[in-house]
């Protein structure tokens, strides 16, 4: 179970220990006849459908959210449902943190950490109303689970100057907006897996309104994470 004082490596270890139970949950989802009935009746083509997220607690006491996704009956018949899994946890009475596995390529994955500040910005800049925090997190991943390939600033000549200001910075597009974050060299070496910090959320309108706002947002949260990453 995740407790106060655990570092990034210890939290990832909790996730990895629970992976067998995640697989059990994925099997249960794919054996659920209600999904099959709905897909056969409504998704005979290749239409994508995102089902309502489900939650479960592992035997170690860790909380997970899983989002079943269908790509239509032909894909379901061949591969079953896609199931995306997210670990969420609180430290004392603080807001939730979330961890997800991030595919880097077909054979490599890492971990992305979302901190409370990220969800604060998502709420302020897009949702713009008060809703329970876990409901807010559920909404974010349900609406934005499918993102474009993560792009590092140093991979694009026009953004090279950002890499100088924010080493290992990246952006990722989602249906509702853009995630800005960084890759932690320290924790990537320590965990032998790429470790990313999703630092803030911005809307597309913010990009149109001016780069200064974006840069200030990034600077604010990246500095915050530099101070906190040792003890999250």
Strands 195-202 and 108-114: parallel
Q: Which of 63-67, 174-178, 224-228 has the largest mean confidence?
A: 63-67
- Predicted local confidence at residue 160, as pLDDT: 64
Residues 14 and 79 in one domain: yes
144-165 pLDDT tens trace:
866 555 677 776 666 666 667 6
- Predicted local confidence at residue 228, as pLDDT: 47
- Predicted local confidence at residue 158, as pLDDT: 60
Residues 103 and 84 in one domain: no
Integer CA distances (angstroms), 129 to 13, 14, 120, 136, in order:
35, 33, 11, 10
Distance between CA atoms of residues 180 and 177, nearest Å: 10
- Predicted local confidence at residue 140, as pLDDT: 93
Distance between CA atoms of residues 68 and 84, nearest Å: 7
Cβ(131)–Cβ(155) below 8 Å: no
- Predicted local confidence at residue 213, as pLDDT: 57
Above pLDDT 90, what percent of the chain?
53
Integer CA distances (angstroms), 28 to 22, 23, 31, 52, 76, in order:
10, 9, 5, 15, 15
Question: Which of 3-12, 52-61, 209-218 has the least mean pLDDT?
Answer: 209-218
Which helix (H) or strand (E) is 93 found in, with range?
none
Residues 216 and 229 in one domain: yes
Full-model pTM = 0.84
Range of the domain at 46: 1-89
Residue 221 predicted with pLDDT over 80: no
Name the domain boundary from 57, 89, 121: 89
Residue 225 predicted with pLDDT over 80: no
- Predicted local confidence at residue 214, as pLDDT: 55
Residues 105 and 81 in one domain: no
Distance between CA atoms of residues 151 and 156, nearest Å: 8
Name the domain boundary from 26, 59, 89: 89
Q: At what angle do helices 19-31 and 8-17 cross, to 10 degrees?
A: 40
- Predicted local confidence at residue 4, as pLDDT: 86
- Predicted local confidence at residue 231, as pLDDT: 41
Query: Number of structural domains, the chain?
Result: 2
* 152 phi/psi in degrees, rounded to 5: -85, 150
């Amino acid at each position: 179970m995740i407790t106060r004082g655990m570092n990034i490596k210890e939290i990832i270890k909790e996730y990895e220990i629970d992976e067998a139970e995640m697989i059990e949950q994925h099997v249960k989802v794919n054996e659920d006849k209600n999904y099959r009935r709905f897909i056969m009746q409504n998704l005979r083509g290749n239409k994508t459908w995102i089902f309502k997220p489900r939650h479960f607690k592992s035997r170690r006491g860790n909380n997970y959210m899983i989002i079943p996704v269908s790509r239509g009956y032909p894909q379901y018949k061949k591969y079953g449902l896609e199931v995306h899994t997210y670990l969420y946890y609180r430290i004392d009475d603080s807001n939730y943190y979330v961890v997800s596995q991030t595919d880097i390529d077909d054979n490599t994955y890492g971990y992305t950490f979302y901190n409370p500040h990220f969800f604060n910005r998502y709420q302020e800049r897009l949702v713009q109303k008060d809703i329970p925090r876990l409901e807010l997190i559920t909404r974010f991943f349900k609406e934005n689970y499918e993102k474009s390939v993560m792009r590092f600033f140093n991979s694009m000549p026009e953004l090279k100057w950002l890499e100088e200001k924010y080493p290992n910075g990246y952006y990722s597009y989602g249906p509702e907006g853009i995630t800005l974050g960084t890759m932690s060299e320290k924790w990537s070496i320590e965990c032998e897996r790429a470790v990313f910090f999703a630092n803030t959320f911005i809307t597309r309108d913010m990009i149109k309104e001016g780069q200064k706002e974006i840069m200030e947002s990034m600077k604010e949260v990246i500095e915050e994470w530099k101070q906190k990453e040792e003890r999250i």
